[in-house]
Chains A and B, each alone.
Chain A
Amino acid sequence: MRLYLQKNHYGDYGDGHAGGLEQDAHQDPQKQWPLWEVFMRSKQGLDHKHAGSLHAVDATMALENARDVYTRRKEGVSIWVVESKHIHASDPNAAAEFFEPANDKIYRHPSFYDLPDSLKHM
């Protein structure tokens, strides 16, 4: 049984190889266009959010294709594309240790402090 995925297939998770299994492509590698991640600002003033991914030959095509598939109903006012292989990601298998430092610091939350009800505007 395969315990962990050794290859990273998805740009969302980046690190090294581009998505779409470039390495073991049995077709002409020339024809495998790289995978891009698409991030979209849905409205002026909001941040860009991951919308999905697509294959494109270069950044220009990635932007145009992203516009065509992800903003047909005015879902976006700005698009970022980044080639998936350039994204670095934390390891889900190490998530417990990685995020552990935040677990025991409840005093970082305002609700930790028990204050009298008569205290206003705080």
Chain B
Amino acid sequence: MDQTANQLQDQFQQRIDLEQKIEPRDWMPEKYRQTLIRQISQHAHSEIIGMLPEGNWITRAPSLKRKAILLAKVQDEAGHGLYLYSAAETLGISRDEMYEQLHSGKAKYSSIFNYPTLSWADMGAIGWLVDGAAILNQVPLCRTSFGPYARAMVRVCKEESFHQRQGFECLLQLSRGSEVQRQMCQDAINRWWWPSLMMFGPKDDESPNSKLSMQWKIKRFSNDELRQKFVDMIAEQIKLLNMVLPDPDLTWNEQTKHYDYGAINWEEFKQVIQGNGPCNKERLEARKKAWTNGDWVREAATVHAAKQAKRKSEAQTFSAKETQ
């Protein structure tokens, strides 16, 4: 038996090395399955919780155009949640179990969504920085080794690029506006910059699970690699806004051909992860409330479907009698 297990393990790794995808019913190490369930469900939760900070501004968008755009974006995030939950379900966990883990606080979601959205400019900063960081994380996941996850990510990535663009455009407009609007823009950037950098996760030497995830090609770039890519990208883009990043240590390094940046406050990151961020409680409460308030809708739908099915079968019996 152990012999077979080892063989299966070897074959599994070989397939991964050959860039073959693993599908739900293929043999996989239990740890691979568990790692994926955790990662994909966390990702799904982030999409769902991620709707809350932006949903906060839908009714207060400054124009009908901006409102329609924001609504479409938030709707997309709900779709992303669905794609990812479905992918996780293929690994043998039920949707209800995942919800239960989220609602009980057992499951985590991206720390970024525990920050408040204080002004309209935050909608721009989220699209540009938060979705921008998410895209860098997500693009390599389109090639991740687990088939359903990779396919879900292809869909997600197709939809994400509009998110980032609408965010930048929103800030661009503010940056060309009145003094107050310019201040609002800079303030939003100041507040979202550091939390966005934390989205890439702990530093490589403090990221214990990374090695195995790399070997299994669940992960393809390290946290620090992706973070550096993000800094390089944003440090250039911000010039178009005529704004500054809130980091006095940010400088172009001619030797490395990258931007150097200041130290991240990992204590803050730890606190937010542990539930002590500015909005952790509020987000979870809002999510649970939405779920509980939807109870009667789900119940009504179930009853309605049963009624329809009964009517249909009665009509069929009736017409069968007629023709006799």
Within 8 A of B (CB), among A6-22: 7-10, 12-13, 19-21
**How many A residues, CB 8 Å from partner?**
37
Q: Within 8 Å CB of B92, what residues of A? A: 5, 7, 9, 21
Query: Contact check: which of B79, B86, B94 meets A32 at CB < 8 Å?
Result: B94
Contact B8 A54 (CB under 8 A): no
Q: How far is the CA of A89 from the CA of B317 in the complex (A)?
A: 33
B83 near A52 with CB under 8 A, answer yes
**Complex alpha-carbon distance, A26 and B155, angstroms:** 31
Q: Given contacts A30-B302, A54-B82, A69-B79, are A1 and B30 in contact (CB under 8 A)?
A: yes
Convert B55-98 into 0s and 1s, putting 1 for each residue whose CB lies closer than 8 angstroms to a CB of A.
00000000000000000100110110011001001111111110
Q: Count chain A CB atoms within 10 A of each CB in B25, B72, B78, B301 and give the residue with the most.
A: B25
User: Closest residue of chain A to B308, judged by CB?
Assistant: A58
Contact B90 A52 (CB under 8 A): no
Q: Indicate whether A81 reaches chain B with its CB closer than 8 angstroms.
A: no
The reply on B267 being an interface residue by CB < 8 A is no
CA distance A9 to B302 in the complex (A): 22
B89 touches A9 (CB 8 A): yes
How far, in whole Å, are A40 and B112 apart by their CA atoms in the complex?
35
Cβ-based interface call for B116 (8 A): no
CB distance from A79 to the nearest CB of B (A): 15
Q: Is B286 an interface residue (CB 8 A)?
A: no
The range of chain B's interface size is 35 or more
When the two chains form the complex, which single residue of A52, A57, A91 contacts B152, counting CB atoms closer than 8 Å? A52
> Known interface pairs A54-B86, A92-B26. Does A31 touch B96 (Cβ–Cβ under 8 Å)?
yes
CB <8 Å contact, B5 and A57? no
Query: Is the CB–CB distance between A13 and B155 below 8 Å?
Result: no
B4 x A55 contact (CB < 8 A): no
Binding site for A on B (CB under 8 A): 4-5, 8, 23-27, 29-30, 72, 75-76, 78-79, 82-83, 86, 89-97, 100, 148, 151-152, 155, 159, 298, 301-302, 304-305, 308-309
CA distance A5 to B79 in the complex (A): 28
Cβ–Cβ contact A20 & B89, under 8 A = yes
A21 near B94: Cβ-Cβ < 8 Å: yes
Look across to chain A and name the residue whose beta carbon is closest to the beta carbon of B23: A92
Using A3-B4, A7-B92, A52-B155 as known contacts, say yes or no to A57 and B25 having CB atoms under 8 A apart.
no
Q: A2 interface residue, CB < 8 Å from B?
A: yes
* A118: Cβ under 8 A from any B Cβ: no
Cβ contact within 8 Å between A9 and B90: yes
A77 lies within 8 A of chain B by Cβ: no
Q: Ordered nearest first, which 3 A-B pairs have the shortest CB separation?
A: A10-B90, A58-B305, A57-B305
Q: How far is the CB of A15 from chain B (nearest CB, A)?
A: 10
Please name 15 pairs of A and B residues whose Cβ atoms are closer than 8 Å in the assembled complex, sorted by A.
Answer: A1-B5, A12-B24, A12-B148, A13-B24, A19-B89, A26-B97, A30-B302, A32-B94, A32-B96, A33-B298, A52-B86, A57-B302, A69-B79, A89-B25, A92-B26
A27 contacts across to B, CB distance below 8 A: 96, 100
Q: How far is the CA of A16 from the CA of B148 in the complex (A)?
A: 20
- Cβ contact of B305, chosen from A7, A31, A52, A61, cutoff 8 A: A61
A20-B95, A25-B96, A52-B83 known; A12+B90 contact, CB < 8 A: yes
